[in-house]
Amino acid sequence: MTIDAATLAPRLQAAVGDTLQVGEVLGVGGSAAVFRARDPFLEREVAIKVLDPSLALGSELEEQFLQEARIVAGVEHPHIVPLYDAAVRGGLLYLVMRMLPGQSLADRIRSEGALAPTEAARLAHEVAMALAAAHERGVVHRDIKPENILLDASGHATVTDFGISRVTGRTPREDAGVTSGTPSHMSPEQALGEDVDGRSDVYALGVVLFEMLTGRLPFEGRSLTELMAKIISAPTPQVAKLKPETPSALAALVTRMLAKEREQRPTAAELASLLAEARAPEVMLTPRQAAWKKRKRRLVIAGVALGSAAVVLYGVYRVGVVAFRLFFSSPGQEPTIFADSAMIPPALLAEARAEGALQPDEPVKLVFIPGGRTASDAAFFTDSFVVRRSPNGARRVLLKGAELGVNRAKLPSDTALRGYLIVSRGKTQADTLYDDLGGLDVTRLLMSLYAHRNELGVKDK
């Protein structure tokens, strides 16, 4: 049964009373309609999502709807649409949320087809961070799809409709053996009617990422039964075969996300970290580029080391030599480096600003996260300072006019070579930013810092 928005609008206005002024309908789906509204007291526009009145959910599901809304409202994250209110009034269940200008990811895919891998990875990373925050509070979305991913005016992803699918399914409840959600994005366990957890959301996000990279769904069927059978048992199509130019690391990650067994998928938090690594410019390579890089890697590193000896990397010959030795003696895990301010995840900056590590409008030129560590150990390079986050708090060191250096760590002779990064001002003042960097950390960081040396105001030694 199709929702009659014209009839629903006056009912919704009666339900919300004079607290909101209901305006035009923004969209109608299978189980809900969205209206534009204005809050006259706070003088702001909001969106109201009202569930189909014909669903006849019953008091138990109505309470479940409100309970999940309370939990979702407590999950504050820059990539989750803020929820202002939820109520059951006048026979209607509705949510009041922030009004976002822009379009949905579904609209963008319909108009543009497949997205560039860098853009697809960025959007998936933002959604993964939102899911990780929700899962930490025990909230599973159950219906991740492009229609539920909204793009704000800047093109960043925000997730909406947490918990809606649990109560709007037209089938019996999940614990009766039937699940809810959008069939094309269901995980195998959802298709089988089994209990779901956060890894079901990871699977659905894998479908979305597959769509963004290829412009098509991984599974389609002439009937719901055929579609469910494919999701449960058919081999998963490989992004690398459909789009050979897709970066290898990103294509492999999609395969992990779409694993039939949930135990083989990463959690949302793990996925966010993996996507951050996959987004790094040095990793975002096509298979051909990756093969070329692998063949030439030793020559490039040798060139960097020799160039360092000739005052290429900050004019400190020993930096290049140490980086060279560290690289081959102790590779370590790949670090995460955002060397382009446009590539830095907004949520990462928002988190650092929220804890006071960064000033509200402080521009960040480069972000460095050592291999194997999390964003809580990141270093933010601005035009004047380097801010080093740590579990014990943030440290801010003046960068203008300072000298950066990397030296071999003083470790036992039988220990693999490591390095530490210092910022020095004269012979007596020195701040150690990291005291245990691996070879890849050193090499990649030095190359990035050299490229930004003029912006950062770092002196040559």
Please report the DSSP string for 314-364 in residue order: TT-HHHHHHHHHHHHH---SPPEEE-SGGGS-HHHHHHHHHTTSS-TT--E
Q: What is residue 286's DSSP assignment?
A: -
Q: Which of 18, 39, 107, 143 is catalytic?
A: 143
Whole-angstrom Cα distance, residue 370 to residue 436?
A: 9
Beta bridge partners of 366: 381
User: What is the side-by-side order of every strand in the sheet holding 103-104?
Assistant: 103-104, 149-151, 157-159
Active site residue 436: no
- The strand order across the sheet containing 83-89 reads 21-28, 32-39, 44-51, 92-98, 83-89
Positive/negative CA dihedral, 366, 370, 423, 392: positive
**Inter-residue contact 86 to 163 (CB < 8 Å):** no
Residues 6+ apart with CB under 8 A from 269: 132, 135, 136
150's enclosing H/E stretch is strand 149-151
Going by C-alpha positions, the residue among 14, 79, 82, 18 that lies closest to residue 50 is 14
Amino acid at 104: S
For the annotated catalytic residues, the residue numbers are: 143
